[in-house]
Structure 1
């Protein structure tokens, strides 16, 4: 007689370990965020560079019936502030300057003299206009915010 071997269930093949997907998903999210931040920084740097190199014309104007007017005007250009003063002016008066840099603009201050009168200041810069009026003895009109 032959010896019978016992019946046994077939041995299943070894299961492969499942690879985890979350580290790859996390890596993808991190790469997307880093790429988005880099693109944003490059875009902002480009805009700042363009704006700092853009030149604008600033026009200062003074009108009115006052005599012996004192005019003080300040202009930002290339990060510097230049301030000038003109005295004993009989309006009308006009000055045009070119300015560039990230910070642009300035201020126009017009003061009537001891004889009084009325003065009007007007500043036009980059499509923006500011005006002010002053009347009386040693009265001041200020145009800024451009």
Structure 2
């Protein structure tokens, strides 16, 4: 009696050829499934961060009598820039944003009369940026918040 199947394959070879596709399938699918789970977890965390409300507070102090301030504001999911000219200090302002929409640069520029200024930006999550400037047309920039 022969140990070959009717189609010409020996008994042991037939079984091995039928097992390797399953092993290959497991080797490919397990890492792919793990990667899909990781992507889903990261996407969920990014979504939560993107909708997290944040308060950004701006402050200017100093002796200058003529300063121009420029700072970012967020309205309806869009970024815009506010610009004010001040004759007296101190000044404070606040804006609200959501998660990854935060960021920007708060600039305080002295006028021709000079003086000294200090700026500070505080984000609700604890980020604080400060800068100082003195002299005519000098600029203090608090950025990267």
Q: TM-score range by the shorter chain?
A: 0.7 to 0.9
Superposed counterparts of 1:69-108, under 5 Å: 69-76=67-74, 79-108=77-106
Q: Which deviations, in whole Å up to 9, do the C-alpha atoms of 1:51-85 show, x marking residues without a partner?
A: 11011110100001111211111135665211111
Return the alpha-carbon distance in structure 2 between the equivalents of residues 114 and 30 of structure 1.
69
Return the alpha-carbon distance in structure 2 between the equivalents of residues 45 and 84 of structure 1. 32
Larger radius of gyration: 1
Aligned to 2:89, what secondary structure does the other structure show? coil
The number of residues matched between the two structures is 136
Quick one: distance in 2 between partners of 1:66 and 1:138? 11
Higher helix share: 2
Give unpaired runs (5+ residues) of structure 2: none
Root-mean-square deviation over aligned CA pairs? 2.0
CA separation of 1:82/1:138 partners in 2, compared to 1, >3 Å: closer, same or farther?
same
Q: Secondary structure at the match of 1:102?
A: helix
Unpaired segments of 5 or more residues in structure 1?
1-10
Structure 2 distance, partners of 1:78, 1:23, is 53
- Deviation per residue, 1:90-145 (Å, 9 max, x gap): 11100111111433122211011221100001111121111110000111101111
Partner secondary structure for residue 65 of structure 2: coil
Q: TM-score, normalised by structure 2?
A: 0.83
Cα drift, residue 41 of structure 1: 1.7
Other-structure match for 1:4: none
Conserved 8 A contact 2:56-2:96: yes
Query: Any idea what SS the aligned residue of 2:43 has?
Result: helix
Offset of 1:23 from its aligned partner?
1.7
Aligned to 1:5: none
Are the counterparts in 1 of residues 110 and 138 from structure 2 also a CA contact under 8 Å? Answer: yes
